[in-house]
Structure formats: C-alpha cells, structure tokens
Structure 1
Amino acid sequence: MVKLKTKNIMLMCSKLHCKLGCLSLLLGFLVFFVSCTNNFNDINKPAGKLSIEELQRDNYAVGSFLIQMQGVAFPEQENAYQTMIDFVGNYLGRYTTYTKELSKNHTLFNASNNWCAWPASYAPKVVSAFNEIKRLSGDQSAAYALALILRSQSFLRFTDIYGPFPLGLDDNDPNVYTPQPDIYKMLIADLNRAIAIIKTDNMIGEEKKIFAPYDMVYRGDFDKWIMFANSLKLRMAIRISSVAPQLAQQLGEKAVRDGVIEDNIDNCTVNYLKSGLWVTSVSWGDSRICADLESYMTGYKDPRLASYFKPTALRGNRMYIGCRAGAPVSSNVLAKRLYSAANVTETTPGVWLTASEMAFCRAEGALRGWNMGGGTAKDFYEQGVRLSFEQWDVEGASEYLADSLSTEADYVDNLGGFGGDFGKMSEITIKWKESATMQEKLERIITQKWIALFPNGQEAWDDLRRTGYPHVFPIPQNTDDYNLLTPNRIPFDRNERINNRENYLKAIEYLGGGDNYGTPMWWQY
C-alpha cells in the first residue's frame, strides 16, 4: 500500500520544502525534492530571495519546472510511481499484482475513490509547470518545445486511464473536460509544434548546454527528444489504428519517415534516486510478478526470465513463480516469500519507451499495410525480439525466434499460494508463420511486444484493452459482475459529481457510457 496517505502527502511535502529557503540549492537536492507530490509551484518561486531576472539568468526557474514535468511524465518517485503506474498499468497490464490483503482495488473493479482520484491529482503539476515555462521562456524556445513533449507524454497517460480529461487549457474554466479524440489530435499537434521549434531554434546549441543538467532523460540532446516525439506519434498511431485508420496510417508513416527510436542507446529511460519499481516490489514488497507474464515466459523458456524476476524465497516446482492477478491474498508476509519480486535494484533506470517497442509497432503497421520503412511484419517482429534481448543483455534471440513449438505454460501455483492453478490461455507460438491468419499474426506480435514492454505497464494495459492480446487468466474472485478480464478504464474521482458537476456530466456524454470500469476507450471501438 502507499506509505503516505493522500491527505498527508501535501502536508509532509510542504513541511519538507519550507526548509529549503531558495532555489540556489545544489541540483542533486533539487531533483529529489521536486519529485515529492504537491505544491511545487509555490515551493519553487523566489519568495523574495531571487528576482525573476536572476532566475531566468541562471535558468533555475525554467529548469526546475522542467524537472517537475519530468516527475509526472516519467514517475519514479515512489508514491507517484505506485499510484499512477503500479496500481493502474502494472496491475491491469498483468505485469505485477498486489501482495497485500486488499478487498478493494482496480484489479477487482472496485477500488476506493482515493485510488481512482490519484492519477488525475498529478495533472495540475503538469499544467502549472508548463504555464510557468511558457511565461519565463516564451513559446519559441527549446525549453518550451521540451515542455510540449513532456506534457504530451503525461496527458497521453491521463486520457488513456480515464478517457475524457480536464487539461486545464480553458482560461475561463480549467476544469472543462476534453473528449479523447480531441486530446489525441491536440497531442499530435503539440508534438509537431515541438519538433518544428527545435529544428528552427537558432539558440539550440547553447540551450542544450543550459538545460542539460535539468534533462533527466537525454541530458540536453534535443535530437533524441525529436526521436522520442516521433516515437510517441507512432505509439498513438497504432493505438487509434482501428478507430481512425486513415489518420493513424498518415501519422504512423510520417513518424517513421521523420525518425523513431531504432537503437537501444536512444531508449527513453530515467535514472532516479530510487527506482519506483524497486521501492514498490522489492523494498516495500507490495507487489510481485503476475502469473500471466511468468506463465508465458516459462512456457517459452524465455532467457529473459532471470533478468525480469527474482527467484522465490519459498521455492516450489520452479525458480520463478508469479501470483494470479486478483488472488485473495490473506498474508502479505507469506505472499512475498511465495512469489517472485521484480529483479531491480535501487539504481535500475525506469524504462518508458524503447527501440523494441517501436519495432513491434512497425510490425503491426506493416501488417496493416502501412509503409514502415521498407521492412515486412516478420522483419520488424524479429527485430523487436532481438532488440529486447539486447536491451536486457541476454543471449539466445535467434534460437528463441526459431522455436515453433513452445507455448504459454499451464499455471501451477506455489504450494500454499493464493490464486490456484489454471490452464494456459493461449496456444500462440514464437516463430513467425507467414501463412497464419491476420489475427494469429497480430496475437503473435502483441504477445511478444507485451513481454518486451516490461516494465512499462501502462503500454501493456493499453495493448491488452485494444487488441485482447495476450490472452490472460480470469480473476479468481468476484469482480462486481464485470464480464471483463481487465478494466477498460478507471472511473473519475467521485467528488467531481459535486464539485465539478456540469463538466462531469458533459464528460459522461463524451464517454458514451457509464462512469465505470466497463466503458471502453474511444480507440477500443
């Protein structure tokens, strides 16, 4: 569970930051304190210590707000990571599952309102930081371009969690919800705008040096930020490929032409003081590897198993054992010993977008008849697997890709476990089969993409909802009569029904269904 209750987070962070005084602290301390959860906007103002001119001169203000935006776009701080990533994407994408005695959570379609409200609570940090960057640096600077990219990364996650979302862009009413199709169009336009600014900024060389200390991802390399922006566009193109096929194809083909991430050296990763996944899975022991991921990798005899998982403390019939999603866990102490934790350390970088993901996106694009740069679906599929093996420094990709017999393993729970045994859900094999049907090829692509995406649970959940792949185990207890294996969305904060009622009712119209776990995303239709 989260170690700080919601109502205490802001108070604790404010007390902590009030002791800081001004922005002239060392950057290392700044990186840490910026990651805490609330009131950053007030904390980082000069408060009489430094003038705006002085802050602009030294770039402390703009740099600190860029760090604030990165803290939401790539949340590694433990509370942000657990509430935005673990509770949602990791659990629902079937990468990890809880080890606590929880009767209410998103996996069971019945989470508390706090759990539903948490992800959206980080959006004001994005909006306030973005507005400050624009005010301080103008709308033609490299800093502004980077802010556009970071806002796009964050807003894409928010809309893919909830659907319609209040973006804080309406000066008259920042609580107005925007329909999901319009959000996607806005994000595409923002990414295009960011790329254009970077390419035409005469000061870009100097700004690279200035903002390198504040760039936790690419250290001021704006060429790599352009690749990341194009990669985000390809990610979105694949997401909307069924509901808006013409737009998706145009967007995807242009992203590839302009240059997406193709090499692991350009992966979007973030080194943080403490890895979010390490804190939640290893240090706190609040989560363990999900049975779905373990069963596929065990059945495939996947050499990445030892890179992804730690051996169980209480050894069963195999070294690595996952826990069924939604298992009725009755002892956190026992669950932590029965099931495998994520194999990460305090300093393991967070992984947010990779060359492997892009190769699998191109494989799906090629399968749909898009021009993905001269390769076939088979070419990109195999490239995705090879890049993943390389990313994890694991040998054996060629042998793995040649395996035409192995399938997902039947799940056998550890002795004394909580979820129970269950037969495998899929017969899909690894080796590419050109004579296969379109659906079989898609399942093969998405299954291997899902394995390779680990630990980016948000993307895993997105693909699972969008395609129905990979096939995953049913929940071993009641799910409030939802006939789904994983939620289609997270309900809005219930306080919106009172505090923002008119806008909330409009958001329900945009949803086209009830404010519940079952209403699909726009791109699922």
Structure 2
Amino acid sequence: MKNKLLVFGSALALLLGSCTSNFEDINTNESGFSNNDLEQDFNRVKAPIRAMERGMYILVADDWQGDIQFNLNADIFSGYMGTPTAFEGNRNNSTYVLLDGWNGAEWVQKYQREMVNAYNLERLTKEKYPQFYAWSLILKVYAMHKTTDYYGPIVYSGFGNADGSTPYDSQQAVYNKFFAELKTAVDILTPIAADKTATFFPDKKDATDGTTGVGNVQKWVKFANSLRLRLAMRISNVDPVKAKIEGEAALAGIGIITSNEDNMAYKAEHPVLTYTGPWTDINAGAPIVSIMNGYNDPRRAVFFHKTKTGTYQGIRLGSIVDSDYETAKQDQFSQIGAIVENNLIPWFNASESHFLKAEGALKGWNMGGGTAQSFYESGIATSFAQLGASGAADYTNDDTSISTGFTDPLNAANNIAAQNLVTIKWSDAVSNEVKLQKIITQKWIAGFPDGQEAWAETRRTGYPKLFLPTNNFSGGKIPEGTFVRRLNFFVNEKTSNPTGYAQGVQLLGGVDTGATRLWWDTGVNKF
C-alpha cells in the first residue's frame, strides 16, 4: 500500500492527462455497454445514474486512489483522522507538503466519474425524460460542491464545450449554478413527489438506486433541498443576502431532511474500513478524540475502537512517524469503528439539517419556527438517535465539560493544550460567536466521518478550534501558525490546459498554494 502511494504522484501526471482538456478521451461509458445494449427498460439512464452514485467515493476495496482522494486530504485536515504512516519520509499532506499526486485524485475522479455521466444524462434525458435529468442534477451538485470546496474555481459550466475549450468558472459562479440546478431539479420533481410513494423506476427500484433513498422521488427532493440549505450556509459570510434567500427557499414545499428515516447514504462497504483496518493507513484524529474525551461523549463507542490500553487515542496532524509509530499504530491509536462497519457511506444526515437551522436562526433567517437553541438541542438528540447512543438529555445539559488537551503516548513533542474551550449546554448569555462555536462543534461531531464537509465548515467558521500541525514542512507556502485552506489545482492542468489553468489562478485571486483562501472563506463570521 505504501509503495503504491509513493509512485502515484508521478504516475498520475504521466498517464491520465488533463481530465478536462481531453474531454473526448474520457467521454466514455464506464458501464461497458453499447447504446444498443442499454436501449431497453431505461438502461441508458440507469447505468450512468448508478455510475454517478458509485463515483462519489472510490468503492473498490483495493483502489488506493480513494485513500488519497479524501482520507489523506480532507479527513486529516478536518481533525477527524490522522495517519500513522511515514509517507514520503514524513513529507506529505500531514506535514503540509501538499503532494501533487494526492491532490489530483479528487479532480480526476470527479471529472471522469461524475461530470462525464452528468453530461451524457443531460443529452439523453433533458427534453424527453426531465425527471431523470433532475435526478442527475442533484447528483452532480452533490459531487461537484466537494470538488470546488477543495480547489476553488473549477471547470463547470463549460464542461464538454463543442469547441474543445475548458474554461474555469469562479467559485461564486459555480455556486450560483448549483443553486439554479437544485431549484430546477426540485421544480421538476415536486409534482411527482406529491405521491409520497412515487419512485423513478417503480418496477425495479431496488436495482436502480444504490442509496437509502431507493429511488423514492420525495426523498430525493428532500435531499436536494438539504443540499441547498448546506450551500446557502456555506456562502453566508461572503454573500449573506443571497444565502438568506436560498436558505429560506430550501425549507419551502416538501422541505429538507429532518428525520433519520430520510437520511441519505450509499449502501456499500465504507472504504475507510479498509484504510483503517488491513492497510493501517489511518487512525482517529487528535482533535475529535480530545473533544469527545473531554465531553465523555457516548458516541465515541460508535466512532472509534479503544486501544489495547482501553482508551480512545488520536494522532496529531504533522506528527513525525518513526518506527515506534509503525510498530504501535494498531495498539496505541484508535482505529475507526462501527460507523464505517455498517455498509453505509453517509451523504446527508438529519442532524445536519437541525444544526443548519440553528445557525440560520442565529443569523436571523426564517427557519420555519423554533429557535437557535431548540434546533441545536434537536440536532444533538437526532445524532444520538441515529447512532443508537443513550444519554442525549444529560449530555445536552452538561455545562462544565470541555475538551481535553492532547497527549501523545509515544512522543511528548506532539502534546498540546486544549483549544476548543466551549461547554455543551446552550446559554443565551454568551455572544453569538460562542453560540456559533457550540453549534459547529456539535455539527462537526455529528458529521463524522465525512471529512470533506467537516473540513469545509472548519475553514468557513474557524470552529471547532483544531490543533495546528506539529510540523509544517511547506517551506513557507503555508505560513506557520495557519491551516491549509485549499488544495493546489491538478498539476496536469498547467500543461494540458494552460489557458484554463491561468484563468483558474486569476479567478482564485491568489497564488496556487494551500494558503490561499476560497471565495466563501472570509475569516469573519457574520450574524
């Protein structure tokens, strides 16, 4: 496994080419069927829909590209996980040496597996079968909002241009397109979803959709609206007027996911199960273990396995991994637990909706009744119920517990005092900033193990307060005392799509390094 990752950086650039400038080369059907094969029973639609669903994560257990796409990127930057392996002699993303090979995986996978299929579905269905076009839009937005939140400007509206050009869109333009596409999807599907039992393929629904939505149109409308609320909150510090309009609109009509029975997840073995188990590439992160240990959080038993010493123990970002770590990583540090052992890869959970509504209420949005406090507390209760954890009421009323500091069992140089010093219980007496810190801390806990979403939210809000890396070997590209704000653009774009790449850097508004903030990452929370 280690050797595979070490060679990937050079192999990716040499073998794959630019995913966006060589559109005709990648515009192929991954299902392997010809158009004639797929002509009957809507199979021409089913195959790319299923391919898009499967492409959100790398699902094949021995496909190491998934490890670098999210596990050794967003999952460690978010504070959720840490690596006990000395990739590239400890000069890797954990120590802020952003490896081009690792950072290109998100770009490659999303364009080859998501954008191509979305493009084909639009041509197949937009005029004749608008319900399937709407479905593809929801999947496309879900996939690509993670990509733009990695890099910033991306190729989006111009993907598949007939003239072969691949221009970049600003992140603001991409988000505006997301909102428009989600509205289009909801407008198309809402009349169908009036029948709560309506499905996209009533005859073979279970064979069509690999998610817990099982082709139910109303559940997909709720998912689309929930994404709209998520994205509205993402831009709330940079464009609060647009954010409020979109956030409130998401609650109209059928509304959002608020019950665990509507949680959206893909039914498959979670790839992290392989990365934390047989490959031993990933363990629990120091921030989440330290916060949950301090809170004595009952959900720890679902998220992590105890070490052989009977404790929950994380790994700090930027740790120098030596032979002691390599020997002890399965004994001294917690592996990811039952949360990745249930054959579900979460996409959107009801608890997130409650926390989004809590923040919306804090910002003065109309969240359909309730207060920031009531939504905050229902978010905690919903998370506990989802995970089968007991004691939600006592936990919510805890006004004394705070995060613990971090102690490394193998290297005291990694020790650090607690950073996220907020209690759990709601208080109207504290500032809006402290209230937001409470909301985001609980939302961050409840969202585990989706590190891509968690990393975006920690960048947007600054919460929860994470541990800086022990070692920063970026050579000044990411200043000491700061966090990674983004990933570098896919390195092949510099040579395969130089015009687009230059445009992307210009739209980014800064140098193409991990220190440049994204459009929505203002560093200031607005209420």
TM-score scaled to structure 2, two decimals?
0.88
Distance 1:71 1:104, change over 3 A: farther
Alignment-mate amino acid for residue 185 of structure 1: N
Which of 77, 87, 92 is the matching residue for 2:72?
87
1:271 to 267, 273, 276: 267
Aligned to 1:181: 172
Aligned-partner Cα distance in 1 for 2:227–2:274: 27
SS at match of 1:250: helix
Which secondary structure does the structure 1 equivalent of 2:484 belong to?
coil
Residue 117 (structure 2) pairs with residue 117 (structure 1): no
The 8 Å contact of residues 142 and 207 in structure 1, kept in 2 or not, is answered as no
CA–CA separation in structure 1 for the residues paired with 2:170 and 2:451? 24
Q: Deviations over 1:18-64 (max 9, x none)?
A: xxxxxxxxxxxxxxxxxxxx9793453545xxx53x52213333211
Tell me, yes or no, if the aligned pair for 2:440 and 2:463 is still in contact at 8 Å: yes
Q: 185, 206, 209: which is aligned to 1:194? A: 185
**Which residue among 96, 104, 111 is the counterpart of 2:91?**
104
Please give the per-residue CA displacement for 1:321-367, whole angstroms capped at 9, x wherever unaligned.
11111211113232232100000355431112111011101100000
Q: Say which SS state the counterpart of residue 311 (structure 1) adopts.
A: coil
| 2:183 partner amino acid | N
Greater Cα offset, 167-176 or 367-376: 167-176
Contact 2:200 2:215 in 1 (8 A): no
CA offsets, 1:234-256, max 9 Å, x none? 00011000100000001101112
Runs ≥4 residues deviating over 6 A: 7-12
Q: Which moved more, 1:376-385 or 1:416-425?
A: 416-425
1:128 aligns with 2:122: no
Q: Distance in 1 between matches of 2:294 and 2:358?
A: 23
Q: How does 1:271-350 map to 2 (within 5 A)?
A: 271-272=267-268, 274-313=269-308, 315=309, 319-331=311-323, 332-344=326-338, 346-350=341-345
Greater shift, 115-124 or 475-484, is seen at: 475-484
For 2:20, the equivalent position in structure 1 comes to none
Deviation at 1:424?
Answer: 0.6
After superposition, the Cα gap between the structure-2 partners of 1:330 and 1:40, relative to the gap in structure 1 and judged at 3 Å, is: farther
Decide whether aligned partners of structure 1 residues 354 and 174 sit closer, same or farther in structure 2, where only a CA change above 3 A counts. Answer: farther
Pair 205,91 (structure 1): closer, same or farther in 2 beyond 3 Å: closer
What residue is the counterpart of 1:245 in the other structure?
240
Q: Which residue of 1 aligns with 2:152?
A: 163
CA distance in 2, matches of 1:390, 1:173: 50
1:40/1:125 contact within 8 Å kept: no
Whichever residue aligns with residue 386 of structure 1, its letter is: A
Task: Tell me if structure 2 keeps the 8 A contact 1:44–1:61.
Answer: no
Distance 1:205 1:113 in 2: 42
Specify which of 148, 151, 174 is matched with residue 140 of structure 2: 151
Aligned partner letter, 1:94: G
Matched residues, number: 492
Q: What per-residue deviation string (whole Å, max 9, x for no partner) do you get for residues 272-304 of structure 1?
A: 1x2211011122110000010000000001111
Conserved 8 A contact 2:284-2:335: yes
Distance 1:208 1:84 in 2: 35
Instruction: Tell me how far apart the structure 1 counterparts of residues 104 and 12 of structure 2 sit (CA, whole Å).
Output: 14
Calculate the TM-score normalised by the size of structure 1.
Answer: 0.88
Unmatched 5+ stretches in structure 2: 16-24, 523-527
Amino acid in structure 1 at the alignment position of 2:246? L
Report the AA paired with residue 82 of structure 1.
D
Secondary structure (helix, strand or coil) at the match of 1:507 reads helix
Question: After superposition, what is the alpha-carbon deviation per residue over 1:114-141, rounded to whole angstroms, capped at 9, x for unaligned?
Answer: 1121110011321221222233334443
Shift of 1:493: 2.0
Q: Are 1:93 and 1:458, in contact at CA under 8 Å, matched by a contact in 2?
A: yes
Could you tell me which amino acid in structure 2 is paired with residue 397 of structure 1?
Answer: A
**2:45 aligned with 1:62, yes or no?**
yes
2:55 equivalent among 72, 94, 97: 72
Moved more, 338-347 or 394-403: 338-347
Partner of 1:396: 391
Which amino acid is the alignment partner of residue 131 of structure 1? Y
Q: Deviation digits for residues 206-239 of structure 1, max 9, x if unmatched?
A: 6344554221111110100000000000000110
Q: Would you say 1:510 and 2:507 are equivalent positions?
A: yes
CA distance in 2, matches of 1:448, 1:46: 45
8 Å CA contact 1:450, 1:460 repeated in 2: yes
Aligned counterparts of 1:457 and 1:349: Cα–Cα separation in 2: 15
SS at match of 2:39: helix
1:310-459 paired onto structure 2 within 5 Å:
310-313=305-308, 315=309, 319-331=311-323, 332-344=326-338, 346-414=341-409, 416-417=410-411, 420-459=414-453
Distance 1:276 1:512 in 2: 35
2:425 and 2:384 mapped to 1: Cα distance?
16
RMSD (Å), alpha carbons: 2.5
Q: Could you tell me which residue of structure 2 aligns to residue 471 of structure 1?
A: 465
Report the identity percentage: 31
Query: Are residues 40 and 484 of structure 1, via their aligned partners in 2, closer, same or farther at CA, if it must alter by over 3 Å?
Result: farther
Whether the 8 Å contact between 1:294 and 1:320 is mirrored in structure 2 is yes
Spell out the pairing of 1:200-215 with structure 2 (5 A cutoff): 200=191, 207-215=201-209
SS at match of 1:207: coil
Distance 2:166 2:374 in 1: 46
Distance in 1 separating the partners of 2:243 and 2:464: 22
Contact persistence 2:26–2:112 (CA under 8 A): no
Asked whether the equivalents of residues 338 and 417 of structure 1 are also in contact (C-alpha less than 8 Å), the reply is: no
CA distance 1:46–1:293, shift in 2 (3 Å): closer
Any idea what the Cα deviations from partners look like across 1:292-322, whole Å, max 9, x if unmatched? 0000000001111111100113x2xx51111
